[in-house]
């Protein structure tokens, strides 16, 4: 019997900051043991450069990622759906694990506050 990889979906409205950073961390930590997705209900055209810089300083490259639109299919294929405290509505399906991480919005973030965020993530 072959075990399938778990799939984790990170969701925030613009998919340009928090969800991209969280996805980048999980991908860096888990490697190919976990399928990592991220999406948003109203994705921006590009990832927030401050998030890209903060992650690069930690050795995690998210510069090549692009914001994606949240789809029902992405939620269906995920084992865990994590929203970033942004009020995004996700479809609810039985058998999925849902979490809401209350993280500061990128629109209020600067390099200093992102450093604090990265430090908190590193401590967990």
Tens of pLDDT, residue by residue over 67-100, are 999 999 999 999 999 988 766 566 777 788 888 8
Tell me the DSSP string of 31-46: GGGSEEEEEBSS--SS
**pLDDT per residue over 106-118, tens digit each?**
655 555 566 666 6
The pLDDT of residue 59: 94
User: Cα–Cα distances in Å, from 93 out to 76, 81, 86, 99, 103?
Assistant: 7, 10, 20, 13, 24
Give me the percent of the chain exceeding a pLDDT of 70: 75
Q: Is 25 a residue of the active site? A: no
**pLDDT per residue over 52-62, tens digit each?**
988 998 899 99
pTM, two decimal places: 0.81
CA distance 108 to 22: 17
Q: Is 10 a residue of the active site? A: no
Among the options 37, 47, 75, 90, which is catalytic? 90
CA distance 68 to 42: 9
- Tell me if 33 sits within 8 A of 5, measured CB to CB: yes
- The average pLDDT across 22-40 equals 95
Among the options 54, 86, 114, 117, which is catalytic? 86
For residue 82, what is the enclosing H or E element?
A: strand 80-83
């Amino acid at each position: 019997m072959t075990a399938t990889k778990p799939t984790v979906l990170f969701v925030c409205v613009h998919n340009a900051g928090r969800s991209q950073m969280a996805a980048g961390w999980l991908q860096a930590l888990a490697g190919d043991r976990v399928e990592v997705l991220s999406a948003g209900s109203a994705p921006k055209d590009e990832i927030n450069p401050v998030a890209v810089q903060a992650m690069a300083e930690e050795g995690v490259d998210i510069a090549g990622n692009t914001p994606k639109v949240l789809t029902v299919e992405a939620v269906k294929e995920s084992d865990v759906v994590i929203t970033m405290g942004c009020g995004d509505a996700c479809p609810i399906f039985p058998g999925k694990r849902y979490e809401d991480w209350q993280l500061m919005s990128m629109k209020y973030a600067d390099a200093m506050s992102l450093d604090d965020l990265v430090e908190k993530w590193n401590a967990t």
